[in-house]
Chain A
Amino acid sequence: MKGQANGFRQIEMRLRRTTRKRRQEAGIALLIAIFILLLIGVVAIALVVSSGTESALAGNYRSSTNVYYAAVAGLEEVRARLRSNNPNSFNNTAPGFLPPPATPLGDCAPVYVINSRGGEAITPWDLGSGYPDTQFGQEHGAACGGAIAPPSSSPATSSVWNRSPLNVLPFPGPLYKWVRLNGVSEKSLNLDVDADGQADSITPLYYNSAGNSYSNDSAVGPQALELTALAVLPNGSQKLMQYLVAPISVSLPPFLAALTIGGSSANSVAFSAPTSNANYSIKGGDQDSVNGCAPGLPVHAVGVFNAADQANVTAGGNGGTGIPAADRPNYTGSSGAPDVNVIATVPASLQSPAQLEALVQSIMQSADVVLPGPNLPPSVYSPSPDPMTIVVNGDLDLTGHQTGYGLLLVRGNLNYGPDASWDGIVMVVGKGTVTGSESESGSGEFDGAFLLAKTLDGSGHTLSPNFGRATMKNMGGNGIRYSSCWTQASQPLASVKILSFHEISQ
């Protein structure tokens, strides 16, 4: 029993000792835990810092790209609104914002398009405001009597993003703040354009598109306008970009026949008039008055560039059958029927494939719509005569019972259904082929002028120096009627050309 009691006491003591020992070592466990936690913490912070730097670097690049495109968005908006046929053009949305057509926009009298977000006040002419235009003073100060700021307050209008319907969009528009529009002069551009060795003149500069040069003389062409956009992101990165633009009008050659066929005697035309449609005719007599325009003198029914084409159109050749003898009286115009004649003086822009291609390129640049084909969307057939410039960059099926208005430029083949009509100018320039659909009889007709020429080879290269062989076969309907008024109403509107672009270092 005694031994047993001793044994219990020993066990009890050992237990107590163990407890005391554990109590003494508890601090060490805590220290080790803290130490390890600290270590892991340091590693974690290092990782966070390094990945943070990485995303900050990527973010820098992203915001520099963002702000670049925001500024370009501002420039492009103003460039688009300078076109009179844009629904948001300054003429439509802010009459009086720009000076009347004959008055130049002053070097020292800038106007602003303001793009404010969330109701922020943007007054660039106030140098103490949030987004001041300090660049105006740097660039135009010398030309404007030492001005350091634009006149206060300069005329301003709101951007399309501040106007209905875009102002209710659930997402924000581009982040540009303002776009300044002003004229330029030798002095502001720091360029000597009149070759007197000095950039001293402060008269507005005008752009001569024929010579690709500038002049102080308003007779050479439209005024060169300077657009300057400031874009600022919420994170503070900003960019200033500048365009120099001028409205360039496309001058179409005079149409000297109802149907003009551009060709070279080496590749004379293949022409087949309808054989079973006695109604088909091509008439050079000027008809239709449009918007108060009165018809004038008649022209040829068919105008060609050389005698070989003249013979082919009348009598056939190169796979064409020409005009059936019975139908020849239907081809009337300024000369006796059949009025198929060589044009005395071929307009400059029709003299070679390259010149005609240059004209086509300028039409494409100012087109209202460029379509791939082969069909026109219903919106093109406007219920009221509202001429548009439509370019089809491929083949086109002009079929159905509809009437289109304006300038239609077809780069590929024009497949014509005899019931479709077009009032205005039709140019089939490129592949230079017109085919008719199965039936020749129909109620469709062309009023205006029709130009056919093959300027491209099979792989799309411009032919040189001769035109290729144009083809027009079995085009039915009522035929082609010359109308100087429709031709005039269908002239393409000016496009606003970018003359130069650069980023202004700040």
Chain B
Amino acid sequence: MKLGRRHTRERGFTLIEMVAALGIFLLVTGAAFTLLTSSQQRYRTESEVLTSFQEARLGLDQMVRDINDAGFPPPSFANIDPTKVTSAPFGWSPGYTMIPQSPCQIVTGGGGPCFTPTDFDIIIETEPNPNDPACTPNCSVQWIRYQLQGTTLMRGMVPKQASHDPAVDSSAAGVLVPFVQNVVNNSPTLQIGQFQLEAAYPAVFPGGAPVPIFQYTCDTPSTPLNPAQPCPTLGAPDNSPTNIRDVSITLIVAAPLPDATTGQPRLVQLEGRGRRINPNQ
């Protein structure tokens, strides 16, 4: 009996017990690591989405700020040198002239006579820092341009110059620099279809068409009974860049890499609105 008992005590685990224990252990750790991997992937994707989101938010904030300030200082500030004051709150091309003005007409779809402003391009005329001691007494007005090139929203600033075209000056090498990356507002139809079907963003691109970044609302000085209305719905001369009052901004940005778990692109849509307060010129 004594021998039997000692023998029993030293017997250890049976093979079946070992296999069962090992199996359970593998199952538990396997599940744990799967969870860990998937949450790691999710974390990576989410932080990428966040980075894009943050970049777009900052960009949007700056755009709203610039648009709010458009048209400062108004022409009444000094009547000697028209480059020290704004001629209009928003620049245009082609045919930019300071005095007298011959603005183009804003029509739908970003096309029409205006090369800028369009759905994806805007030039703001303003003096961002008039009290800067570096440019006393009269600081020069700047043309601030936002233009979507491919999937990169560019921003650039050049001083306003007499007899210059703001679109030409701001297109010079080194003026426009990347501002917001992965902006997909003007994606090709094929890619929009992919966003809509595969990535389940049916509402982001209504009708499967590109979404304008800039949508303009114009004052209607020639039809005084009407309130401000979307510029493309108005006739000449109300639909000109000199009459832009509100600019509503829609930014759709994609995370740089597709979702690591599902392999689908991730989109973020942001909206903002800038309103010019400075008086009509």
Q: Which residues of A contact B (CB under 8 A)?
A: 13, 17, 32, 35-36, 39-40, 42-43, 46, 50, 53-54, 57-58, 60-61, 64-65, 68, 72, 138-139, 186, 189-193, 195, 198-199, 207, 211-214, 357, 360-361, 393, 411, 430, 456, 459-462, 497-505
B-side contacts of A207, CB under 8 Å: 76
Contact (Cβ within 8 A) A460 B225: yes
CB distance from A70 to the nearest CB of B (A): 14
B-side contacts of A503, CB under 8 Å: 65, 68-69
Give the residue of B39, B68, B74 whose beta carbon is less than 8 angstroms from that of A499: B74
In the complex, A191 Cα to B139 Cα: how many Å? Answer: 8
Tell me which residues from 113 to 142 in chain B have a Cβ below 8 Å from any Cβ of chain A: 126-131, 136-139
Contact (Cβ within 8 A) A54 B279: no
A-side contacts of B28, CB under 8 Å: 32, 36
Contact (Cβ within 8 A) A499 B130: no
In the complex, A139 Cα to B73 Cα: how many Å? Answer: 16
14 contacts between A and B (CB under 8 A): A43-B36, A53-B50, A61-B272, A139-B131, A189-B77, A190-B130, A192-B80, A192-B138, A207-B76, A211-B79, A360-B224, A500-B72, A500-B278, A502-B278
Contact (Cβ within 8 A) A190 B137: yes
Contact (Cβ within 8 A) B279 A195: no
B163 in contact (CB, < 8 A): no
In the complex, A57 Cα to B253 Cα: how many Å? Answer: 15
Contact (Cβ within 8 A) B43 A461: no
In the complex, A500 Cα to B281 Cα: how many Å? Answer: 11
B78 in contact (CB, < 8 A): yes
- The chain B residue with its CB closest to the CB of A394 is B225
CB distance from B64 to the nearest CB of A (A): 8
With A46-B43, A64-B61, A195-B80 given, can you name 13 additional A-B contacts, CB distance below 8 Å?
A32-B28, A36-B28, A43-B36, A57-B50, A139-B131, A207-B76, A212-B75, A214-B77, A460-B223, A462-B223, A501-B68, A503-B68, A503-B69
B-side contacts of A500, CB under 8 Å: 72-74, 76-77, 278-279
| Interface segment out of the listed B52-60, B189-197, B254-262 | B52-60
Give the residue of B57, B75, B78 whose beta carbon is less than 8 angstroms from that of A193: B78
CB distance from B24 to the nearest CB of A (A): 9
Contact (Cβ within 8 A) A190 B139: yes
Interface contacts (Cβ under 8 Å), in number, total 129
- The chain B residue with its CB closest to the CB of A207 is B76
Would you give the 0/1 interface string for B61-92, flagging 1 where the beta carbon is closer than 8 Å to chain A?
10011001100111111111000100000000
B99 in contact (CB, < 8 A): no
Say yes or no: A499-B223 contact (C-beta < 8 A), given A32-B28, A61-B57, A198-B137: no
B-side contacts of A411, CB under 8 Å: 225
CB distance from A504 to the nearest CB of B (A): 7
Contact (Cβ within 8 A) B138 A460: no
CB distance from A441 to the nearest CB of B (A): 34
- The chain B residue with its CB closest to the CB of A460 is B225
Interface magnitude class on chain B:
35 or more
Q: Find the residue from B50, B65, B76, B278 having the highest chain A CB count within 10 A.
A: B76
B47 in contact (CB, < 8 A): yes
Q: Find the residue from B28, B47, B77 having the highest chain A CB count within 10 A.
A: B77
Give the residue of A32, A39, A139 whose beta carbon is less than 8 angstroms from that of B36: A39
B-side contacts of A195, CB under 8 Å: 79-80
Say yes or no: A50-B65 contact (C-beta < 8 A), given A39-B36, A212-B76, A501-B72: no
Say yes or no: A57-B53 contact (C-beta < 8 A), given A460-B224, A503-B65: yes
In the complex, A411 Cα to B223 Cα: how many Å? Answer: 12
Contact (Cβ within 8 A) A213 B50: no
In the complex, A500 Cα to B141 Cα: how many Å? Answer: 14
Contact (Cβ within 8 A) A430 B60: no
CB distance from A67 to the nearest CB of B (A): 12
In the complex, A46 Cα to B139 Cα: how many Å? Answer: 49
- The chain B residue with its CB closest to the CB of A61 is B57
Contact (Cβ within 8 A) B50 A35: no
CB distance from A280 to the nearest CB of B (A): 31
B162 in contact (CB, < 8 A): no
B168 in contact (CB, < 8 A): no
In the complex, A188 Cα to B184 Cα: how many Å? Answer: 45
In the complex, A139 Cα to B127 Cα: how many Å? Answer: 16
Contact (Cβ within 8 A) B39 A46: yes
Contact (Cβ within 8 A) B68 A199: no
B-side contacts of A212, CB under 8 Å: 75-76
In the complex, A393 Cα to B69 Cα: how many Å? Answer: 30
B-side contacts of A36, CB under 8 Å: 28, 32
CB distance from A14 to the nearest CB of B (A): 9
Contact (Cβ within 8 A) A505 B129: yes
In the complex, A60 Cα to B64 Cα: how many Å? Answer: 14
Contact (Cβ within 8 A) B69 A501: yes
CB distance from B176 to the nearest CB of A (A): 22
CB distance from A356 to the nearest CB of B (A): 11
CB distance from A362 to the nearest CB of B (A): 11
Say yes or no: A462-B222 contact (C-beta < 8 A), given A138-B131, A192-B137, A497-B279: yes
Say yes or no: A501-B277 contact (C-beta < 8 A), given A50-B43, A199-B137: yes
Contact (Cβ within 8 A) A43 B224: no
A-side contacts of B74, CB under 8 Å: 499-500
In the complex, A118 Cα to B225 Cα: how many Å? Answer: 44
Contact (Cβ within 8 A) A214 B76: yes
In the complex, A456 Cα to B220 Cα: how many Å? Answer: 13
